[in-house]
């Protein structure tokens, strides 16, 4: 009996050990190393808080965090607003037999490289790109608009990617929703709009928040899109981190900035988790 209990206890541990080992090796240990590095002086190697104080005292450094938060907030909100109706149409209006094909078409841009997609947007938004040629061709603008190399371009590139991601998470949530909820609401006299606002939307909020959180995390840590589309007219946190490494190899400062960025992501996670009560799910 005791052997059975022991093996019963051992099996779960055996199953989670590879995942724990992986996390320890490729997350916990590198994170500790990064923590030590962030408290080390680049020149001389002694203990210092200077890498953190640089961030909090230099306006051009914390401006990067403000820029990152602004861009991430805009991308998240716009992506949710676009993805929800799209997912709803897919889940509710497209016949069941066409849904798989429609989903595949919706996520088709995922099949191309992230870098190639960003450069494609650059060509679309450029001075001689499709949009500006159309606008000037139709006589809607006298001069080409500056669309590329702006925050607008960065947000556009991000939104294109994250709408697809959010559509998938919200679609899955909508499909899991039992039709009985809508029937019950209708029985109680609620119209389609009231049913959506008071029944469907609250029940799909977890899907929205999971997608929104993923969007936040991936967007705030992304280097490629702002680098290619933003034209470096403002720096975001990942660009600031990379800047420390290129020529000077200032890994301590890069580590400190990365840890600050990670702390912001952790705060966002805690805020979402508490709001959605994920810990009780």
Partner 1 sequence: MSAQTTKPLSALKRHLRAACAATALLLTTGAQAADLNALIWCDHADPALLQPFEEANGVKVNVKEFEGTGAGLAIVEQSQPGDWDVMVIDSIDVPRGVEKGLFEPLPEDKLPVADLFPQVKMDASTVVGGKRYGITEKFGYNTIGFNKTKVDPADMHSLAALTSDKYKGKIAIYDYYLPVIGMAALAIGKKTAELTEADLPAIKAELLKMKANAKLVGEVTASQTALATGEVDILVGGGEWVTAGLAKENPALDFSIPKEGAVLWSQSLAMFKDSKNKDMALKFIQYIISPEGQARLATSACYWGMPANTKAALSDDQKKVLRFDEQPDFLARAQAYPAPNADLDKKMQDVWTEMLQAQ
Residues that bind partner 1 (CB under 8 A): 42-43, 58-61, 63-64, 122, 126-128, 146, 148-149, 227-228, 231-235, 240, 243, 245-251
Q: Which is nearer to partner 1, 99 or 250 (CB)?
A: 250
Q: Which is nearer to partner 1, 100 or 248 (CB)?
A: 248
Work out how close the CB of 148 gets to partner 1 at its nearest, in angstroms, rounded to a whole number: 7
Q: Which residues pair with 38 in a beta bridge?
A: none
Distance of CA 267 to the CA centre of its chain: 15
Work out how close the CB of 256 gets to partner 1 at its nearest, in angstroms, rounded to a whole number: 14
Specify the 3-state DSSP secondary structure of 112: coil
Closest C-alpha to 254, from 240, 234, 236: 240
Work out how close the CB of 281 gets to partner 1 at its nearest, in angstroms, rounded to a whole number: 41
Specify the 3-state DSSP secondary structure of 178: coil
Work out how close the CB of 126 gets to partner 1 at its nearest, in angstroms, rounded to a whole number: 6
Q: Which is nearer to partner 1, 202 or 249 (CB)?
A: 249
Q: What is residue 191's DSSP assignment?
A: -
Tally of CA atoms within 13 A in the half-sphere of 99 that contains its CB: 18
Q: Which is nearer to partner 1, 20 or 123 (CB)?
A: 123
Q: Are 81 and 224 in contact (CB under 8 A)?
A: no
Q: Is 230 buried (19+), middle (13-18) or exposed (0-12) by CB count in 10 A?
A: buried
Work out how close the CB of 221 gets to partner 1 at its nearest, in angstroms, rounded to a whole number: 19
């Amino acid at each position: 009996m005791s052997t059975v209990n022991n093996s019963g206890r051992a099996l779960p541990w055996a199953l989670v050990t590879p995942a724990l080992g992986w996390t320890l090796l490729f997350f916990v240990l590198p994170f500790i190393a990064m923590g030590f590095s962030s408290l080390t002086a680049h020149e001389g190697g002694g203990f210092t808080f200077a890498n953190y104080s640089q961030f909090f005292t230099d306006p051009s450094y914390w401006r990067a965090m403000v820029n990152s938060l602004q861009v991430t907030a805009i991308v998240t909100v716009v992506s949710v607003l676009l993805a929800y109706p799209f997912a709803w149409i897919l889940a509710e209006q497209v016949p069941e037999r066409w849904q798989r094909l429609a989903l595949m078409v919706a996520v088709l841009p995922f099949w191309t490289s992230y870098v190639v997609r960003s450069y494609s947007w650059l060509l679309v938004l450029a001075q001689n790109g499709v949009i500006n040629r159309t606008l000037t061709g139709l006589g809607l603008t006298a001069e080409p608009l500056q669309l590329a190399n702006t925050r607008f371009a960065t947000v556009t590139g991000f939104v294109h990617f994250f709408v697809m991601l959010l559509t998938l998470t919200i679609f899955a949530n909508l499909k899991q929703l039992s039709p009985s909820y809508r029937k019950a609401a209708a029985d109680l006299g609620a119209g389609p709009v009231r049913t959506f606002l008071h029944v469907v939307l609250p029940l799909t909020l977890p899907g929205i928040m999971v997608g929104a959180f993923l969007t936040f995390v991936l967007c705030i840590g992304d280097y490629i899109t702002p680098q290619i589309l933003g034209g470096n007219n403002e720096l975001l946190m990942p660009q600031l981190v990379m800047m420390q490494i290129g020529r000077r190899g200032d890994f301590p400062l890069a580590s400190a900035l990365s840890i600050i960025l990670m702390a912001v992501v952790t705060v966002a996670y805690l805020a979402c988790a508490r709001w959605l009560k994920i810990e009780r799910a």
